[in-house]
Structure 1
């Protein structure tokens, strides 16, 4: 269990321990082995999330954000079981928690507000960027479908779509390449500009996405 808490695969652990991978799986499936109820202390800054565990079952994980070490793993992500775990800590101990980092899962946020009255709720930046890129792609596809599939405008928005999701500072503004979809030489920046010029809403969404990525990068 100690090795599994570090960045080591189950396969490597099984080789080191001299047991089969299935034995490791059975150990992880054992609630008593997996649950290391620490009923005394909590890290000052924690992160909570879920991950796909043995046999595709989702588990709940608590990480110490200061050390990046696993604090606890629960065998499922049921709200009642998560509440049961946090109920083991005194209010005084839970008030010591200064921040909780999580995703956009609403009931995780409800749990943070309920159990950690002094903690700052932090939404993981990965999920913010992921949400914005999905929204931008939805706008791009909607604009693209306004054009005939055989047109240059349609190809400009359909192909090389990954360029739109890069930081603008990562685009090359000088080196040209031949774009077979547009049948012309362009730089990466020009290629993005051709698509953005087709719709003002798409261009506005691009500026919003770029601004958010820059703000997160520069804290």
Structure 2
């Protein structure tokens, strides 16, 4: 679901949605949640991109079943995303079953 869609449903501006997302993710310039997905890739993931520091876009993904665990990559370049997911072992990647809709 896009920020624009969320804003429309909640009757707030897309900037407010973005600000709320930012506050939920960051605390004192640090990410609030630090999970190590290298141990186990979830069966289903949700993903999106968002505007982060310096008007750069970052890539975010999470476990689609719990939505609590996520990882933020510094940019949304295909090369970065591919390199990141290829960091998981083949056995680990074989567990993956579905990419669900955007966060």
TM-score exceeds 0.5: yes
Q: Which structure carries more relative contact order (alpha carbon 8 Å, separation 6+)?
A: 2
User: Who is 2:52 aligned against?
Assistant: 53
Structure with the bigger percentage of helix: 1
Following superposition, which runs of at least 4 residues in structure 1 exceed 6 angstroms of deviation?
none
C-alpha separation between the residues in 1 aligned to 2:94 and 2:73?
A: 22
CA distance in 2, matches of 1:94, 1:83: 12
Specify whether residues 75 and 40 from structure 1 end up closer, same or farther in structure 2 by C-alpha distance, changes over 3 A only: same
Secondary structure at 2:69's aligned position in 1? Answer: strand
- What is aligned with 2:74? 75
CA deviation string 1:196-218 (max 9, x = no partner): xxxxxxxxxxxxxxxxxxxxxxx
Provide TM-score, normalisation by structure 2: 0.62
TM-score where L is the length of structure 1: 0.32
Are 2:27 and 1:13 equivalent residues in the alignment?
A: yes
Q: State how 1:152-191 maps to structure 2 within 5 Å.
A: none
Contact 1:61 1:70 survives alignment (8 Å): no
d(CA) in 2 for partners of 1:87 and 1:54? 26
RMSD: 3.0
C-alpha contact 1:64 1:71 (8 A) present in aligned 2: yes
Corresponding position: 1:93 with 2:92: yes
In 2: Cα distance, 1:60 partner to 1:78 partner:
8
Give the Å deviation of 1:13.
Answer: 3.5
Give 1:92 deviation, angstroms: 1.6
SS at match of 2:27: helix
**Number of residue-to-residue matches in the alignment:** 81
- The runs of 5 or more residues in structure 2 that have no matched partner are 1-20
Q: In the alignment, what sits opposite 1:20?
A: none
Task: Please give the alpha-carbon distance, in whole angstroms, between the structure 2 residues aligned to 1:45 and 1:72.
Answer: 14
1:13 and 1:48 mapped to 2: Cα distance?
Answer: 21
Structure 1 unmatched runs, 5+? 1-6, 15-23, 29-34, 104-123, 125-219
Q: Secondary structure at the match of 2:100?
A: strand
**CA distances 1:120-153 after superposition (whole Å, capped 9, x unpaired):** xxxx8xxxxxxxxxxxxxxxxxxxxxxxxxxxxx
Q: Distance in 1 between matches of 2:48 and 2:90?
A: 22
